A and B are shown apart, each in its own frame.
Chain A
Amino acid sequence: MSGATATLAGHGGSVSSRYEDSSATREPTWVKWTLVTISLSFFSFFLLLPLFAVFTEALRKGWDVYWAALVEPDALSAIKLTLIAAAIAVPLNLVFGVAAAWSISKFQFPGKQFLITLIDLPFSVSPVVAGLIYVLIFGRQGWIGGWLMDHDIKILFAIPGIVLATTFVTFPFIARELIPLMEAQGKEEEEASIVLGATGLQTFWHVTLPNIKWGLIYGVILCNARAMGEFGAVSVVSGHIRGETNTMPLHVEILYNEYQFAAAFAVASLLALLALLTLAVKTFVEWQAGKSNNQSDKEE
């Protein structure tokens, strides 16, 4: 679901004062504060409250219970599996994202828009369906399920299946971030580099990469957040074997269903911290990108 993963725009900022300074574009004060109050209340009710709830519930029974829930063996193995899945899925999609963005943004070819739509596809597929497709292929009755059984290879209900499902749902993130960015930057700098005698790799390393660095970091952290937090798709392919094929979100679900609320929220709070960290990095990256945007604006 594309555009809405928020491309690096550099929001907010000084625009508001421009409007508030002119009587032609300013609303009466009471209108302003009514609108601000309504929208912030909505924001607090729907976004802030759940965030606070995670931490409050996690610490409801004190730090000891909280800590115990995190160092319990099943929790540790879930954390480990989540890290493994992200550590494989993110680099795979990083290489793909860079390759796709390079070929799409620096060259002209027919069907470009269609290819971009195909890359976006995993965003629009329900996570449950994303999990199901791998069951249809690797499952006992799937396309190559029988062959896999004969050779004693486990993909479904094992780590490879989890990695595959995770890679699928996070597939477009980095490409999505880089394609518009690299298209906007054009290819003049790369051409200049080639004219000056640099090779393709030198050009990518010394010219392209520094220019897309912030977008790349942003894509990677978004991709990572989703990879570590994916629930639906992984739930279908994991088989929920405790201590073996449970990722952190699945572990949260199991604890929750067993009415171990404090423990469930303790593990959930780790994921919430990850989300906050992601947003912090994102804000920082946007700030950096905004800075360099302002610089290139001055060039014109």
Chain B
Amino acid sequence: MSVAGKRVLPGFNITMGYTLVYLSLLVLIPLSAVFFKTATLGFDEFWAVISSPRVVASYKLSFGASLLAAGVNAVFGLLLAWTLVRYSFPGKGLVDSLIDLPFALPTAVAGIALTAIYSQNGWIGSIIEPHGIKVAFTPNGVLVALIFIGLPFVVRTVQPILQDLERELEEASASLGANRLQTFRFVIFPALFPALLTGFALAFARAVGEYGSVIFIAGNMPMVSEITPLMIITKLEQYDYAGATSIALVMLLVSFALLLVINGLQAWTSKRTGRDR
């Protein structure tokens, strides 16, 4: 009796086949080009490109600012998620909807808007620049842009977990004599922690690769405010394909590593909370 491959619901072979072909043609084969192209370089050449001072300065800015932005978002994202889940206040529905703005707003639009706000004549720039704080066209600007694009990642990962948290846990904690702060510290926060870390990692990963919102506000001064994706563009504009590809490979490897970390974190979250991601 032939059994192998028999399925009750139809369409597995055709949909799976289509999925694999489409995925390969559009994503996997093109991505592999980065590896093959880099492989045609000698290692020395590759190393020279990715360790040149200007490129290393861009790593420092990209990773440093991304880390900082993700940290800021972890704090305020948690606070926003908490406020949205636990408190009622006027306009809450609107705030909840607009949290996703950075997902929906094109990055270039965000970039020029932030630049306008923080430049010398802008709403905020005109207030803070006289006090010696410069944001636009400095690394601070990069930070501001990365905070903008990363915020929803934290809010939207923490919010559902916070929503599903059993109220009985907190009541039990209170009945055992814990005050509100202790309950948060020892009961709520540990339950949220995996999700918070996932949100942090997602925001960080997005920030590292971000281009559109940053380049307008960064000022793009070599060694000071150039991000790594911009280095790829710069090399491309000089028709230095090998150089651009080498840096792209570094970024790809970082992305893959982050993807692994995030998958692990998400598995941890669902194990901790018993819900699927």
A contact set with B: CB distance below 8 Å: 1-6, 9, 11-12, 15-20, 22, 24-25, 27, 31-32, 35-36, 38-40, 42-43, 45-51, 53-54, 57, 95-96, 99-100, 102-104, 106-107, 109, 115, 117-122, 124-129, 132-137, 139, 141-143, 164, 167-168, 171, 180, 183-184, 187, 190-191, 194, 199-200, 203-204, 222, 225-226, 228-232, 235-236, 248-250, 252-253, 256, 261, 264-265, 268, 271-272, 274-276, 278-280, 282-283
Q: Tell whether B152 is near chain A: CB-to-CB under 8 Å.
A: yes
Set of chain A residues within 8 Å of B22, measured between Cβ atoms: 96, 99
Q: Tell whether B120 is near chain A: CB-to-CB under 8 Å.
A: no
Q: Tell whether B114 is near chain A: CB-to-CB under 8 Å.
A: yes
**Is B84 a contact of A11 with CB atoms below 8 Å?**
yes
Q: Given contacts A24-B174, A249-B108, is CB(A135)–CB(B97) below 8 Å?
A: no
- Pick from A124, A180, A222: contact of B258, CB below 8 A: A124
Taking the closest CB of chain B, its distance from the CB of A204, in whole angstroms, is 8
**Chain B residue at minimum C-beta to C-beta distance from A248:** B106
**Is A132 a contact of B170 with CB atoms below 8 Å?**
no
Instruction: Give per-residue flags for B141-170: 1 if the beta carbon is below 8 A from chain A beta carbons, else 0.
Output: 000100110011100110110010001001
**22 A-B pairs, CB-CB below 8 angstroms?**
A3-B198, A6-B100, A9-B159, A9-B163, A11-B159, A15-B85, A31-B180, A46-B144, A47-B102, A51-B101, A51-B105, A96-B22, A99-B18, A102-B11, A115-B19, A126-B229, A127-B211, A128-B209, A167-B26, A200-B10, A229-B105, A268-B109
Set of chain B residues within 8 Å of A115, measured between Cβ atoms: 19
Set of chain A residues within 8 Å of B232, measured between Cβ atoms: 128-129, 132
- Pick from B15, B124, B170: contact of A102, CB below 8 A: B15
Number of interface residues of B (CB under 8 A): 106
**Chain B residue at minimum C-beta to C-beta distance from A24:** B174
Within 8 A of A (CB), among B164-206: 167, 170-171, 174-175, 180, 198-199, 202, 205-206
- Measured in the bound complex, the distance between the Cα atoms of B255 and A215 in whole Å is 28
**Is B202 a contact of A3 with CB atoms below 8 Å?**
yes
Set of chain B residues within 8 Å of A12, measured between Cβ atoms: 84-85, 92-93, 96
Set of chain A residues within 8 Å of B37, measured between Cβ atoms: 136
Taking the closest CB of chain B, its distance from the CB of A233, in whole angstroms, is 9
Set of chain A residues within 8 Å of B30, measured between Cβ atoms: 133-134, 136-137, 168
**Is B103 a contact of A190 with CB atoms below 8 Å?**
no
Q: Tell whether B49 is near chain A: CB-to-CB under 8 Å.
A: no
- Measured in the bound complex, the distance between the Cα atoms of B96 and A135 in whole Å is 39
Taking the closest CB of chain B, its distance from the CB of A285, in whole angstroms, is 11
**Is A24 a contact of B170 with CB atoms below 8 Å?**
yes
B contact set with A: CB distance below 8 Å: 7-12, 14-16, 18-19, 22-23, 26-28, 30-31, 33-34, 37, 76, 79-80, 82-89, 92-93, 95-110, 112-114, 116-117, 122-124, 144, 147-148, 151-153, 156-157, 159-160, 163, 167, 170-171, 174-175, 180, 198-199, 202, 205-206, 208-212, 216, 229-230, 232-233, 236, 241, 244-245, 248, 251-252, 255-256, 258-259, 262-263, 266, 276-277
- Measured in the bound complex, the distance between the Cα atoms of B16 and A42 in whole Å is 45
Taking the closest CB of chain A, its distance from the CB of B79, in whole angstroms, is 4
**Is A249 a contact of B100 with CB atoms below 8 Å?**
no
- Pick from A6, A49, A194, A276: contact of B9, CB below 8 A: A194
Q: Given contacts A126-B211, A231-B212, is CB(A47)–CB(B252) below 8 Å?
A: no
**Is A106 a contact of B33 with CB atoms below 8 Å?**
no
- Measured in the bound complex, the distance between the Cα atoms of B232 and A128 in whole Å is 7
Taking the closest CB of chain B, its distance from the CB of A70, in whole angstroms, is 15
Set of chain B residues within 8 Å of A252, measured between Cβ atoms: 108-109, 112
**Chain B residue at minimum C-beta to C-beta distance from A102:** B15
**Is B148 a contact of A107 with CB atoms below 8 Å?**
no
**Is B28 a contact of A229 with CB atoms below 8 Å?**
no
Set of chain B residues within 8 Å of A5, measured between Cβ atoms: 103
Q: Given contacts A43-B80, A264-B112, is CB(A222)–CB(B153) below 8 Å?
A: no
**Chain A residue at minimum C-beta to C-beta distance from B267:** A113
**Is A280 a contact of B97 with CB atoms below 8 Å?**
yes
